[in-house]
């Protein structure tokens, strides 16, 4: 699992959107107060590519080697950016977060690792497990009373936006993969082409 020492320090460099905890008005105001004009010119291509690669890593909470492997596999596909996005979104931890079972991706990873979730009725403890269309994610019966899922009965969970490739029933604590994630910058503002440029150097 990717270890993160200071989310706020990283978010100041990569952007608030990579962590749920830094997407707050308080963080935005703090960032505005501390921001100073930079005397350096335009960032180099390498610097830009490195920045975008790090954004993807920290957004999904994966290690360098994992991202490199995902990128290598996606590069073999007809549309690499779409393939990379699809692979990252269809990870079990990412889908659990998207479904609203966890409030953060980090919490979703721990949820999977500790055996709280089932895929098609079978316990799965690998956060990177690759889901496919038709798969059903559910909360294990013995885990449903856990405080981990207390938020599912609240307004925040019911108001949460769920991507159209997932159908979610919070009452039964289940989610089904109805299709495949489509890569749109409006949904997740990540520059996947820059990631491929970085690894192609």
pTM: 0.78
By the 8 A CB rule, do 198 and 44 touch? no
Give pLDDT tens digits for 65-77: 999 999 999 999 9
Higher pLDDT among residues 5 and 49, named by residue: 49
Cα separation values, 39 from 31, 36, 187, Å:
18, 9, 32
Mean pLDDT within 113-119:
97
Q: State the CATH class of domain 96-177.
A: alpha beta
- 139 within 8 A of 151, measured Cβ to Cβ: no
Q: How many CA atoms lie within 13 A of 199 on its CB side?
A: 20
pLDDT of 141 = 95
Alpha-carbon Rg of the chain, whole angstroms?
A: 18
Phi and psi torsions of 79, nearest 5°: -125, 85
Domain extents for the chain? Answer: 96-177
Say yes or no to pLDDT of 4 above 80: no
- Confidence band, pLDDT 50/70/90 cuts, at residue 1: very low
> What is the distance in angstroms between the CA of the first residue and the CA of the last residue of the chain?
27
pLDDT at 31: 47
Task: Give me the sheet containing 166-169, strands edge to edge.
Answer: 122-123, 117-119, 136-139, 174-177, 166-169
Spatial distance between the Cα atoms of 128 and 157, rounded to a whole number of angstroms: 24
Let me know if 187 is exposed, middle or buried by CB neighbors in 10 A (0-12, 13-18, 19+).
middle
**pLDDT for the residue 61:** 93
3-state secondary structure of 91: strand
Residue 104 has pLDDT above 60, yes or no: yes
Interhelix angle for 80-89 vs 92-99, to 10°? Answer: 70
């Amino acid at each position: 699992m990717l270890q993160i020492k200071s989310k706020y320090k990283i978010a100041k460099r990569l952007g608030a959107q990579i962590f749920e905890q830094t997407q707050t008005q308080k963080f935005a105001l703090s960032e505005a107060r501390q921001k100073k004009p930079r005397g350096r010119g335009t960032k180099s291509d390498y610097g830009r590519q490195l920045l975008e690669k790090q954004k993807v890593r920290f957004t999904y909470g994966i290690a360098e080697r994992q991202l490199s492997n995902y990128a290598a596999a996606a590069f073999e596909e007809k549309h690499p950016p779409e393939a990379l996005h699809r692979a990252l979104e269809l990870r079990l931890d990412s889908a659990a977060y998207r479904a609203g079972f966890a409030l953060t991706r980090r919490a979703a990873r721990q949820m999977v690792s500790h055996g709280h979730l089932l895929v098609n009725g079978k316990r799965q403890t690998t956060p990177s497990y690759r889901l496919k269309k038709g798969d059903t994610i559910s909360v294990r019966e013995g885990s449903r009373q856990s405080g981990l899922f207390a938020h599912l009965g609240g307004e925040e969970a019911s108001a949460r936006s769920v991507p159209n490739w997932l159908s979610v029933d919070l009452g039964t604590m289940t989610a089904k993969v109805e299709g495949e994630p489509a890569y749109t910058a409006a949904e997740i503002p990540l520059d996947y082409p820059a990631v491929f440029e970085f690894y192609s150097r």
